[in-house]
Amino acid sequence: MIRRTGLAALLASTLIGAPAIAQTVPGQTPPNPPLVEGGFATTEATDPYLWLEEVEGERAMAWVEAQNTRSLGILQGDPRYQGLHDQALAIVQARDRIAMPGFNRDGTVDNFWQDATHVRGIWRRATLDSYRTETPAWQTILDFDALAASEGANWVYKGANCLEPDERLCLISLSDGGKDAVVVREFDSTTRTFVDGGFVLPEGKHRISWVDADTLMVATDFGPGTLTESGYPYIVKILKRGQSLDQAVEVYRGTATDGGYGVSPYTLRDADGVIQALLINRPLDTYRAETWRVVDGQAVKLELPARGNISALVQGQLVVTTDQDWTAPSGQAFTAGDVIAWDLDAWFANPATAAQLIIHPGERDSIEAISATRNRLVVARYENVRGSVYVYTPGSGEWARQRLALPQNVTVGVGSASATDDRIFLTAAGYLTPSSLYLADAASGAIDALKALPAKFDAAGMRVDQFEARSADGTMIPYFVVHRDAMAMDGSNPTLLYGYGGFQVSMLPGYSPTMGKLWLERGGVYVVANTRGGGEFGPRWHQAAQQANRQRAHEDFQAVAADLIARGITSQPRLGVMGGSQGGLFMGAMLTQRPDLINAAVIAVPLFDMLRFHTLLAGASWMGEYGDPRIPEQRAVIAQYSPYQNLRAGRPYPEVFIHTSTKDDRVHPGHARKAAARLEELGYPVLFYENTDGGHAAGANLRETARRIALEYTYLTRRLMD
């Protein structure tokens, strides 16, 4: 019903004064000296490893092959690797996982499934009654292993966009090796064949929405000069069946300097699938965006907060989340994190129509997910990083609220919702609690337990504690510790600290079978830091560590590491850190700023050269998060923490494990490559592995996923358990 943008493109950013790097304390590694213009890699002329940015260049790939050979020889040559690999493979290919369902209007449910037989996966369908049984009678809609084999292609399934209300015609996105860029092909889910002469789009980062069976709204690469500097589309056109892209009619045009992940068209439909509006989201940067409505072929700007998100349409009420303090055209003042609603028809007729306040979260609350059944709003709300699900019913005054009876102190998830009634799938899980699936009736509050994941590791005698660490500016940073009851507080425990710290992504408790089996069960301690930059306490928690304040997030993570040591949970020889993507930047900052705290770092698909991130692949779309290195004042702030430029000789860096993917067309593999090359140049030991498939998730299929996991835990075992 609602196409959630989900691209972080509807949020915003504001520059304020840069904080100082924390002062040296006893036992702390002295801070790096300030960067000097003309120093290492501060300009292209001073970067000796630019050639590693040639993704598939001959010299670069020869370097990758040599690194892979050496690193795989070391890690796969470890006698523990094979056992860890076999355990990881058994878990990721297990058939007793929960097959997560998606509602169809005809009462059936769909599922995408991967296992040892279906490595690339199958799209399959069953009746809800059959799904309730232990052995559902699945019917295959599309087999991606068979498709790849028949076409001699390395297809990775990236999703289906089906036309409502009958959901027969679908646009299938297929990626070569796991890239973000996809080929789109029209598919008939009833005949289970690709439509002869149907809609087809060549490889690209498309944004597509059905209008009707013969019409699409499309944002894509329409030729030279039609992509933003980060490689995303900024033009929307109407494409009719039988037309080529150059025949499509333009209805909206942004600019080549637009930020974020590109302009996105979407069709706002009611519960019956009837179109209420054709909308276009135009990101101004990573977080600020405009919303436009197409009326009679012309785009009209809507009065919505720049940092916000259209979250649902329920009983004619348009539900919007605002991530900024905002005064509506009605004169009403709302604060960051509020959830509000308008009567859609009245608001379209008069933008000054008063809105209703549905939710005003507290200081330690966050709204993690919003969905709508036919008649009700369903919200996953977190209080101090512990989740609950509430049902809100529209009314003329305050919306009625009911809390659903789900397990407490766990992570709750809002799944697929029915458009024909008020049923919705919900999930619950914890660090030691396997995932469970429930079918709830949002109207009555009734909950039916459908499926439960069997325990994948022995959690007997284990517990979860929540502590707080004091960051450099005095802010208290919560973190979770998963450990055995009998844990000695003498610093002897091998401990893995995980962090992300950006883009308003919350690190919530979850059940990880591979982490439990390959780490906890073998005596390790697992820690997750809820630092600023994430969304654990709403948009303000994120914005507190944005752009000029990015260093706060790094100090938060470092404070958690220091607190673990101070409590005696672990010690420097036993403490390792792990993170990927933005979390890889986190690990790089830990490595360059506080190497005295750690003895291992898994740095996955990382951002590392922050003075050039805006020039590499999708990097320019993240300037709302980090700032713009082209502006001297912002560049000076970024230079303080950019890991690549801050690598120095004579520092107590541990051997690190860096991995990336050649096919990653989101975070450029050059970041990881150059980090490894610079470390080697400075004389430090480093392990580097590059998967030649896999995309940003670094796993095009389950076998590669198992290998990556086994490599990580073999490395951590060598560093922290030996």
Residue owning tokens 């069946």: 241
From 330, 334, 290, select the one nearest 310 (Cα to Cα).
Answer: 290
How far is 159 from 175, CA to CA, in rounded Å?
Answer: 10
- CA–CA dist 363, 596 (Å, integer): 34
Give the torsion through C-alpha atoms of 693, 695, 697, 703, to 10 deg.
-20
| Amino acid at site 627 | G
Reduced to 3 states (helix: H, G, I; strand: E, B; else coil), residue 538 is coil
Place of tokens 């709508």: 372
Judge contact between 201 and 220, C-beta under 8 A: yes
Is 581 annotated as catalytic? yes
Residue 503: name the closest of 598, 430, 581 by CA.
Answer: 581
Which among 189, 230, 506, 581 is annotated as catalytic?
A: 581
Contact (Cβ atoms closer than 8 angstroms) between residue 491 and residue 578: no
CA dihedral of residues 371, 372, 378, 382 (deg, nearest 10): 20
Residue 493 and residue 569 in contact, taking contact as beta carbons nearer than 8 Å = yes
The three-state (H, E, C) secondary structure of 94-129, written as one string: CCCCCCCCEECCCCEEEEEECCCCCCCCEEEEEEHH
| Positions of E strands within 535-685 | 575-580, 600-604, 656-661
Residue 372 parent element (H or E): strand 365-372
How far is Cα 440 from Cα 406, in angstroms, rounded to an integer? 10
Q: How far apart are CA 267 and CA 274, in angstroms?
A: 10
CA–CA distance, 695 with 175 (Å, rounded to integer): 9
Provide the CB-side half-sphere exposure for 447 (13 A, CA).
19
Q: Rounded to the nearest 5°, which phi and psi values hold at 643? A: -60, -40
| Helix, coil or strand: residue 238 | strand
413 touches 366 (CB < 8 A): no
Give the closest residue to 447 by CA, choosing from 419, 428, 466: 428
What does the alpha-carbon distance between residue 252 and residue 53 come to, in Å, rounded to a whole number? Answer: 34
SS3 assignment for 301-316: ECCCCCCEEEEEEECC
Give alpha helix (H) positions in 43-80.
58-76
Residue 110, amino acid: D
Residues facing 234 on adjacent strands: none
Token code pair at residue 341? 């609603």
Residue closest to 74 by CA, chosen among 720, 714, 719, 722: 714
Whether residue 696 lies in the annotated active site: yes
Report the catalytic residues.
581, 696
